[in-house]
């Protein structure tokens, strides 16, 4: 069981990161699947504690080198799982300056780094023989056990009436829907809210002003912005659909750049599903929410909803040729 436990923990760490990234990267049904898988993986860690504990005690007794880092890894894993379970309940919005989800992600990144170090200093190399029947049965039992725990936790969250019972399939909690003033203002990493007075946006090389935009057909749509920091807000947005702005899109992607330099590339064939919005809830956008214009990208996570749009350009660079998550 020792060898199985160590291999399983390494595999779980990889799976936890992969499912977490998919859950956070997508705003569609794939995020739902990944979020459930992510929960199962997290609880598998807990189920392995009884088998990992004796391994930990014996190496602590032998005073193996790097014990401090191993303890740090254990703390990071516990913090990751605890904040994940807490996020599900919706009872604690923030811990210090960070949202519960941000604590979860921060602890997970730490655990991943320490986990890689831990594995390299005590490697257990997987072998084809590890795929023996007994281990496959163990994986099945572990998964089933995690399923029972997950269902139990969900049932408890529902029964207590905690806000988590109403969370979205991405794990995000509702904030200020239908009330723009109560909707959080969030930046990805480093951007600051700029106070702009100009209303021009460069579209395919042409500088368009408020009058130009007013002449174009507008849509009012209800759309949900779902931020990876763990909240979502459904609002009424008003703006111009990108295919009406750009006409026939001849290129691979639509690059939307913010005044701040923040940039996202959308696949060219999505022009009829993206909006350049000027209004939120019947009023011009506030500075915080992207004045004069921002992207509304239904079904895409919040970090795609570029604020303070400076330019929209069709480009020959494919949309997949960009980091999946912005770096600044």
Residues 146-165: x where in contact with ligand MTE by CB under 6 A, - otherwise, as a string: --------------------
Q: Which is nearer to Mo ion, 27 or 42 (CB)?
A: 27
> Cβ–Cβ contacts within 10 Å for residue 249, how many?
20
Question: Alpha-carbon distance 228 to 89, whole Å?
Answer: 17
Name which of Mo ion, ligand MTE, none residue 147 binds, using a CB cut-off of 5 to 8 Å depending on partner kind.
Answer: none
The single residue among 89, 302, 306, 308 that binds Mo ion, judged by CB under 5 A, is 302
Return the range that interacts with ligand MTE (CB under 6 A); candidates 73-81, 85-93, 180-188, 213-221: 180-188
The single residue among 147, 165, 184, 299 that binds ligand MTE, judged by CB under 6 A, is 184
Contact between 227 and ligand MTE per CB under 6 A: yes
27 phi/psi in degrees, rounded to 5: -115, 20
Q: Which tokens is 227 given?
A: 């931020």
CA-wise closest residue to 291 among 273, 269, 306: 306
* CB distance 302 to 25 below 8 Å: no
Whole-angstrom CA distances from 270 to 121, 149, 251, 254, 313 are 46, 40, 12, 9, 14
Dihedral over Cα of 27, 29, 34, 39: its sign: positive
Question: Alpha-carbon distance 255 to 315, whole Å?
Answer: 7
Q: Where are the alpha helices (DSSP H) in the chain?
A: 2-25, 29-61, 67-89, 100-121, 133-160, 210-215, 242-246
Q: Which residue has the tokens 């923030």?
A: 94
Name which of Mo ion, ligand MTE, none residue 165 binds, using a CB cut-off of 5 to 8 Å depending on partner kind.
Answer: none
Contact between 188 and ligand MTE per CB under 6 A: yes
Contact between 185 and ligand MTE per CB under 6 A: yes
Q: Which is nearer to ligand MTE, 130 or 191 (CB)?
A: 191
* CB distance 50 to 127 below 8 Å: no
Q: Which residue has the tokens 């257990």?
A: 124
Contact between 258 and ligand MTE per CB under 6 A: yes
Return the range that interacts with ligand MTE (CB under 6 A); candidates 13-21, 124-132, 138-146, 305-313: 305-313
The single residue among 114, 227, 254, 297 that binds Mo ion, judged by CB under 5 A, is 227
Return the range that interacts with Mo ion (CB under 5 A); candidates 10-18, 93-101, 175-183, 184-192: 184-192
- C-beta nearest to ligand MTE: residue: 302
Return the range that interacts with ligand MTE (CB under 6 A); candidates 26-34, 72-80, 186-194, 207-215: 186-194
* CB distance 157 to 167 below 8 Å: no
Strands 201-203 and 206-208: antiparallel
The single residue among 4, 213, 237, 262 that binds ligand MTE, judged by CB under 6 A, is 262
Contact between 171 and Mo ion per CB under 5 A: no
Q: How far is the CB of 4 from ligand MTE (least distance, A)?
A: 40
Contact between 42 and Mo ion per CB under 5 A: no
Question: Alpha-carbon distance 278 to 99, whole Å?
Answer: 28
Chain contacts with ligand MTE (rule: CB under 6 A): 183-188, 191, 225, 227, 258, 260, 262, 288-290, 302-303, 305-308
Chain contacts with Mo ion (rule: CB under 5 A): 186, 227-228, 302-303
């Amino acid at each position: 069981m020792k060898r199985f436990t160590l291999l399983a923990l390494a595999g779980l760490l990889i799976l936890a990161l992969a499912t977490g990234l998919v859950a956070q990267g997508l705003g569609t049904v794939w995020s739902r699947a990944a979020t459930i898988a992510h929960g199962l993986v997290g609880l598998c860690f807990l189920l392995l504690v009884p088998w990992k504990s004796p391994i930990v005690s014996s190496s602590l007794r032998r005073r193996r080198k790097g014990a401090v880092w191993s303890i740090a890894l254990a703390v990071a894993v516990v913090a990751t799982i605890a904040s994940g379970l807490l996020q599900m309940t919706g009872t604690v919005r923030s811990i210090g300056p960070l949202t519960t989800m941000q604590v979860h992600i921060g602890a997970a990144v730490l655990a991943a780094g320490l986990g890689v170090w831990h594995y390299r200093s005590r490697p257990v190399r997987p072998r084809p023989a590890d795929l023996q029947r007994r281990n496959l049965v163990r994986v099945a039992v572990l998964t089933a056990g995690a399923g029972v725990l997950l269902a139990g936790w969900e049932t408890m969250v529902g029964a207590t009436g905690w806000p988590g019972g109403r969370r979205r399939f991405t794990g995000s909690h509702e904030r200020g829907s239908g009330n723009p003033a109560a909707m959080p203002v969030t930046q990805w990493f480093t951007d600051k809210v700029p106070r702009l007075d100009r209303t021009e946006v460069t579209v395919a090389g042409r500088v368009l002003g408020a009058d130009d935009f007013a002449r174009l057909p507008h849509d009012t749509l209800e759309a949900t912005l779902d931020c990876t920091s763990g909240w979502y807000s459904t609002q009424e947005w008003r703006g111009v659909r990108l295919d009406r702005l750009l006409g026939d899109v001849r290129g691979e992607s639509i690059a939307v750049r913010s005044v701040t330099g923040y940039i996202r590339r959308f696949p060219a064939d999505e022009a009829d599903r993206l909006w350049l919005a000027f209004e939120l809830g019947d009023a011009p956008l506030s500075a915080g929410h992207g004045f004069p214009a921002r992207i509304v990208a239904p079904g895409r996570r919040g970090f795609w909803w570029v604020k303070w749009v400076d330019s929209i350009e069709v480009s020959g660079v494919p949309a997949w040729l960009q980091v999946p998550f912005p770096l600044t």
